[in-house]
Amino acid sequence: MSDASVLRILWIAVVLLILLIALTLFYLVERKVRRTRHRQQVAEAVKMFAAPDSPLADYLDSGKESRKLSASGEGMRREALEEALLNRLAVSASHTERERIYKFAAGYFGEEYEYLLNRRRWSDRMNVLLHIEKFKMVGLKATILDRLDRLGKQSKQDDERFLLIRTLASFQAEETLGYMEVAAARFSELQLMQVLRPLRDELLDRLIRDFDGLPIRIRRCLLDTLRISNARTTEVLELLERSIRSEDKESRIRALKALANFGYMTPEAADYFESRMAGDEEIIWPERLMHARLAGAVREERFMPHLERMMADPSYEVRREAAASLAQYRNGLERIGRIAEGHPDRFARDMAVETLERRAYERNVG
């Protein structure tokens, strides 16, 4: 290659690079200016809506939509309203106000959200789904189901699939139950729990009734969800007591934990539980930990010797839990005191001392 042609190539490269840099700058500044102006307008509008005499405040107080409020503008107005309403939702807890916000959102954003749900841009769809969920726009259920059906099978669509199903669940849509298999195969446990958590009444009852037919991952997460949501019906109790006998270790641990949170168990279940505590079967420490916790939650005299034994458990966590549980019992602290003085196991003594110290502190502060 001659010097001249090398030079020509280099010059072209230089010009090209400068052009690219200029283009980047232009795009960057244009985007920035537009965004800044837009954000400013939105911020002003949000402030306007937040004022006590704004049309929005009027509506939320009275429930009557004024023309001023629905005099629609362009995208900026939507964003401002969204933000103003979300702020309201975040701070105010009044039921009627919430209902009014949902009603207004349904009427005002419905059409646009439906359009946005099918946009090509991924982040648009994700953002709108988050808003649909926040505003509980049940009217869009059909669109969401449609979207779910048309979603590809690839795993890269799973983020969107998850949001769609979680939104369905938040609507209490019975179609949600039809997606349990999909969810179990594709979602993480914490995601599954986010899907299960909003389900209530009728739908929850159905899940409990059909428990044994559910995928194992759903079953485990359902046990956790019942604990977190403090579900307290006889059906739940029956399910939990059944699950502490489960073949599946994970299910057992979670059922024990939920039962401890429930704070009650039937005598039959307690018999089984005691036999399990006393049994000489090898039990892993997380399950022993839950045994200790449950024994502290239901407080029956007959569990006390087992708790005392657990204070010398090889696992620190179990010892700590056993001590905390024992302290719940009447005379529990005295027994811990006795352990502190004369238990043959040093770890048990240490744990007893530690527990007593903490109790003493809590009494002083509380």
Partner 1 sequence: MSGTWVDVLMEAHRILGILIIIYVAMSAAVYLFLTAAAAFSLWRDRDLSEIQYSTVLETELVPPLSIIVPAYNEEINIVGSVRSLLSINYKQFEIVVVNDGSKDKTVEIMLEEFDMTEVKGRVPFSGLKKETKPLRAVYRSLRHPNLVLVDKENGGKADALNVGINVCRYPYFVSLDGDTVLDTDAFIKVVKPIMDARPGEEIVATGGSVGIANGSAVDSGYLNSESVRLSNKPIVVMQVVEYLRAFLMGRIGLSRYNMLLLVSGAFGVFKKSWVIEVGGYETGTIGEDMELTVRLHELIRRKKSKARIVYVPEPVCWTEAPESFTILKRQRTRWHRGLYESLNSHKKMILNPRYGRVGMLSMPFFLFIELLGPLVELLGYFTIIFGFFLGRINIEISLLLALVMLLFGSLMSTMSVLFEEWRFHNYNRISDTFRLFFYALSESFWYRPVMTWWRAEGLFQAIRGKKHGWGEMTRVNVLGANKKTGTIPGTNPGVNPVPPEKKE
Residue ranges that bind partner 1, judged by CB under 8 A:
3, 6-7, 10-11, 13-14, 17-18, 20-21, 24-25, 27-29, 31-33, 35-36, 39, 86, 122-123, 126-127, 130-131, 133-134, 155, 158-159, 162, 184-188, 190-191, 193-194, 197, 217, 228, 315-317, 346-347, 349-351, 353-354, 357-358, 361-362, 365
Least distance to partner 1, CB of residue 124, Å: 8
CA distance 227 to 217: 16
Closer to partner 1 by CB, 146 or 160: give it: 160
* Amino acid code (one letter) for 137: M
Look at residue 228 and give its three-state secondary structure: helix
The closest of 75, 81, 12, 10 to 38, measured between CA atoms, is: 75
Nearer to partner 1, 234 or 364 (CB): 364
Q: How far is the CB of 297 from partner 1 (least distance, A)?
A: 18
HEC string of 165-184 equals: HHHHHHCCCHHHHHHHHHHH
We find the least distance from the C-beta atom of residue 275 to partner 1, in angstroms, to be: 29
The Cα–Cα gap between 199 and 191 comes to 14
Q: To which residue do tokens 């039962």 refer?
A: 259
Contact 184, 192 (CB under 8 A): yes
Two structure tokens written together for 39: 């954000």
- Nearest approach in angstroms of CB 68 to partner 1 is 27
Which residue, 49 or 162, has its beta carbon nearer to partner 1?
162
Which residue, 58 or 79, is less far from partner 1 as judged by CB? 79
Contact 242, 276 (CB under 8 A): no
Nearer to partner 1, 152 or 279 (CB): 152
Closest by CA position to 81, among listed 94, 62, 64, 68:
68
Residues in the chain, how many? 366
For residue 65, what are the CA distances in angstroms to 71, 93, 318?
Answer: 11, 21, 59
Q: CB of 348: closest distance to partner 1 in angstroms?
A: 9
In the complex, minimum distance from the CB of residue 187 to partner 1, in angstroms, rounded to a whole number:
7
Q: 260 near 297, Cβ under 8 Å? A: yes
CB-wise, 6 or 278, nearer to partner 1? 6
Output the smallest distance, CB 36 to partner 1, in A. 6
